Amino acid sequence: MTRHFPSGPTGSFFGMSLAREFSRDPLGFLTEVSRTYGDLAGLRMGPVKACLCNNPDLIREVLVTRARFFRKEPRTLNALRQIDGEGLVVTEGDFWLRQRRLLQPAFHPRRLGKYAATIVERTTQFLDRWKPGETRNIVDEMTHLTLEIIAKLFYDLELTGQASEMGEAVRTLSEIFAAELSTLIKVPDWVPTRTKRRKRWAIRTLDTLMRNTIRERRASGQDKGDLLSMLLMAVDEEGDGRGMSDQQARDEAITMFNAGHDSSAAGLAWAWHLISTHPEVERRLREEVATVLGDRPATAEDLPKLKYTDCVIRESLRLYPPVWILFVRQTVEDIELGNFQLPKGTWIYILPWVTQRDPRFFPDPLRFDPDRFSEERISSIPQYSWIPFGAGPHICIGQGLALAEMSLIVATTLQRFRLEAVPRTEPVVPEPLLAIRPKGGLMMTIRTKAG
Ligand code: HEM
C-alpha cells in the first residue's frame, strides 16, 4: 500500500528548529535521522519538504533508472553558478549532454598513460621539497599537490609558486558555499560583509587565471593535446556541429579546475590519516609498492598491479567520502518512490556519508578494512551502496582519473617517506565543507621510509 509522505522528526517551529540542527551538525543530524526513520526519512524544514534516501535500490531509482524524474535543486546550482557559470556540474538537459560529449574524450582511459606520467613527475618534484623531520599540514600539502597536477594536466600551467593563492581561493569558496547552502536564509550578494568581499576576491582570482590562460592559448594557436586545447578546438559532431565560445571554455575550465582537485585532495588527506593510524595496512602497502615498483617511477601499466593500494583508496573513500552529500535532487512531478507518495518539488538527499557507514551494507562499518574491496569480498557489497562518485548520467566524469591519481600519489610518496601523525589530544573531526576535510588540518611529521 502506498503511504503518504515518509515519516521523520518534527520540529518545534514549523520545522525551523530542524533546520538549525541541520546547520549545527549536518553529519550527525542526517545520520541520526536516517538510522531512526529508515530507507526514506521525511524532513520538513520551514517551507522545504525533503527526504533522506538511504537504500541502494532507491538510490538507483533516483540517480539511474528514473533519473529523468529528478533534477538538481536550483538553489544549490545558482550558488555554484556564481563561479562555474554554465559548466558541466551545474547544467542539465540538452546543454549538459552536449558539454559532457565534448569533454568526455579528455577522460578516455587511453589518455591515462600520459596523465600518469605527469602525475608521477609532479609528485616527485613536489616531494623534493619535503625534508625528513619536518611537520606539515597534510591537508594543505595535498591541496597544493593536486592543484599543481590538475593545472599541468589540463592547462599546461606551472602553478608551483601560485598554488597557495589558488588553494586559498578554492578553500574560501568551498567554505562560503558550504555555509550558504546549509542555511535557508541567504544574505544577498550586495550586502557588504567581509565574507562577500572574500568571496569576490576568490572568484576574481580564479577567473583571472582562467581567462588569461585561454587568451594566451587562443593567441598561440597551439594544440598542446591537453583539456584546454580540447575545449578550444572541440566541435559537437553528434549535435549542432559548433564549438565552444571562450565563455563556455572558461566555465568548463574553472569547473574542472575546482572539481578536479578539491575532492581528490580531501580524499588523499583522509587516506593518509587512516594509513598513519593503521600500521598493518601501512606495512602491506609498503610491501606492495616495493614488489611492484621497487625504486622506479610508477606508470599507468602498474595501476592494475597496485591492487591493495586501490583497496585502501576505495575504503578511505567509503569512510570519508569527500562529496559527503550529492547535489540535492528535486522531484519534477508527483511521484511514487519506495511505497511513498512524494509531491512535486520534494528535495531528495543522497548521502554517501550515511549510506557508506550503514551496517546493513558494510558490516562493522566504522572499521577501516581495505580488504572489503578485495577480489574475494567485493561482490558482497550491494550495488549503489558505495557511491563516492555518484551514479547514473551525472556520475563523476573524473572517477577513473581520480582513482588513478590517488593511487599514484600514495605509491610514489611511500617509495620515499613515511607520514607520522603528530600526537593530538583532540580526535580528528570531519568538517563538511563542499568536500569533507579534517577540521583544522592534519599535522604529520615527514620521516624517511626506514626512519
Ligand atoms: C576523489 C575525487 C572525486 C570525488 C569523490 C568526486 C565526486 C563526484 C560526485 C559524487 C559527483 C556527482 C555529483 C552528483 O551527482 O550530485 C561528481 C561529479 C563530477 N565530477 Fe567528480 N569527484 C572526484 C574527482 C573529480 C575529478 C578529478 C574531476 C575532473 C578532473 C571531476 C569532475 C567532475 C565533474 C565535471 C562532475 C559533474 C559530472 C556531470 O554532472 O556530468 N571529479 N564528482
Mean confidence (pLDDT) of the chain: 90
Q: What CA–CA distance (Å, rounded) separates 413 from 129?
A: 12
Position 70 scores a pLDDT of 96
For residue 259, how far is its CA from the centre of ligand 1 (angstroms)? 6
For residue 323, how far is its CA from the centre of ligand 1 (angstroms)? 8
Q: Is the pLDDT of residue 444 over 90?
A: yes
Q: What CA–CA distance (Å, rounded) separates 102 from 14?
A: 46
Q: Is the pLDDT of residue 240 over 70?
A: no
Q: What CA–CA distance (Å, rounded) separates 366 from 358?
A: 9
The H-assigned helical ranges of 128-162 are: 138-155
Position 194 scores a pLDDT of 83
Q: Is the pLDDT of residue 316 over 60?
A: yes
From the CB of 45, is ligand 1 less than 6 Å away? Answer: no
The percentage of residues in the chain with a pLDDT greater than 70, rounded to a whole number, is 93
Cα-atom radius of gyration of the chain, to the nearest Å?
22
Q: Which atom of ligand 1 is nearest to the CA of 150?
A: 30
Going by pLDDT thresholds of 50, 70 and 90, the confidence category of residue 161 is: low
Which of 185-194, 290-299, 438-447 is predicted least confidently? Answer: 185-194
CB burial of 387-403 (b: ≥16 within 10 Å; e: otherwise) equals bbbbbbebebbbebbbb
Position 119 scores a pLDDT of 97
- For residues 111 and 282, which has the higher predicted lDDT (pLDDT)? 282
From the CB of 322, is ligand 1 less than 6 Å away? Answer: yes
Going by pLDDT thresholds of 50, 70 and 90, the confidence category of residue 323 is: very high
Q: Is the pLDDT of residue 15 over 70?
A: no
From the CB of 41, is ligand 1 less than 6 Å away? Answer: no
Position 397 scores a pLDDT of 95
From the CB of 401, is ligand 1 less than 6 Å away? Answer: yes
Q: Is the pLDDT of residue 341 over 80?
A: yes
The percentage of residues in the chain with a pLDDT greater than 90, rounded to a whole number, is 59
Position 2 scores a pLDDT of 65
Q: What CA–CA distance (Å, rounded) separates 111 from 106?
A: 7
Among 148-157, 177-186, 269-278, 419-428, the range of highest mean pLDDT: 269-278
Mean pLDDT for 200-204 is 90
pTM of the model: 0.93
Position 164 scores a pLDDT of 67
The residue written with cell numbers 557508506 in the block is: 356
Contacts of 273 (CB under 8 A, 6+ apart): 138, 320, 421, 428, 438, 442
Q: Which atom of ligand 1 is nearest to the CA of 352?
A: 10
Strands 417-421 and 443-448: antiparallel
Q: Is the pLDDT of residue 122 over 60?
A: yes
From the CB of 388, is ligand 1 less than 6 Å away? Answer: yes
pLDDT in tens, 204-229: 998 898 888 888 888 888 888 788 88
Task: Find out whether 369 and 359 touch, Cβ atoms under 8 Å.
Answer: no
Position 175 scores a pLDDT of 77
Going by pLDDT thresholds of 50, 70 and 90, the confidence category of residue 19 is: confident
**Crossing angle of helices 112-127 and 138-155, rounded to 10°:** 140
* Residue with CA closest to ligand 1 atom 27: 260
Position 181 scores a pLDDT of 67
Q: Which residue segments constitute the domains of the chain, with CATH numbers given?
A: 1-84+322-355 (3.30.43.20), 102-321+363-448 (1.10.630.10)
Going by pLDDT thresholds of 50, 70 and 90, the confidence category of residue 191 is: low
For residue 418, how far is its CA from the centre of ligand 1 (angstroms)? 29
- For residues 172 and 437, which has the higher predicted lDDT (pLDDT)? 437
Q: What CA–CA distance (Å, rounded) separates 357 from 387?
A: 11
Q: Which atom of ligand 1 is nearest to the CA of 321?
A: 5
For residue 400, how far is its CA from the centre of ligand 1 (angstroms)? 10
From the CB of 81, is ligand 1 less than 6 Å away? Answer: no
Q: Which atom of ligand 1 is nearest to the CA of 89?
A: 37
Q: Is the pLDDT of residue 238 over 70?
A: no
* Residue with CA closest to ligand 1 atom 7: 389
Q: Classify residue 178 by burial, with Cβ atoms within 10 Å: 0-12, 13-18, 19+.
A: middle
* Residue with CA closest to ligand 1 atom 8: 389
- For residues 74 and 446, which has the higher predicted lDDT (pLDDT)? 446
From the CB of 62, is ligand 1 less than 6 Å away? Answer: no
Position 446 scores a pLDDT of 97
From the CB of 40, is ligand 1 less than 6 Å away? Answer: no
Position 301 scores a pLDDT of 97
Position 24 scores a pLDDT of 82
From the CB of 87, is ligand 1 less than 6 Å away? Answer: no
Q: Measuring CA to CA, which residue among 367, 387, 379 is closest to residue 281?
A: 367
For residue 449, how far is its CA from the centre of ligand 1 (angstroms)? 33
Mean pLDDT for 388-395 is 97
Q: Which atom of ligand 1 is nearest to the CA of 154?
A: 30
For residue 280, how far is its CA from the centre of ligand 1 (angstroms)? 31
Mean pLDDT for 121-141 is 96
Query: Across-strand partners of 430?
Result: 438
Position 319 scores a pLDDT of 98
From the CB of 260, is ligand 1 less than 6 Å away? Answer: yes
From the CB of 146, is ligand 1 less than 6 Å away? Answer: no
Q: What CA–CA distance (Å, rounded) separates 447 from 278?
A: 16
Which of 52-56, 195-199, 371-375 is predicted least confidently? Answer: 195-199
pLDDT in tens, 245-266: 888 888 988 898 888 888 999 9
**Ligand 1 pocket test, candidate residues 396, 399, 403, most atoms within 8 A of CB:** 396
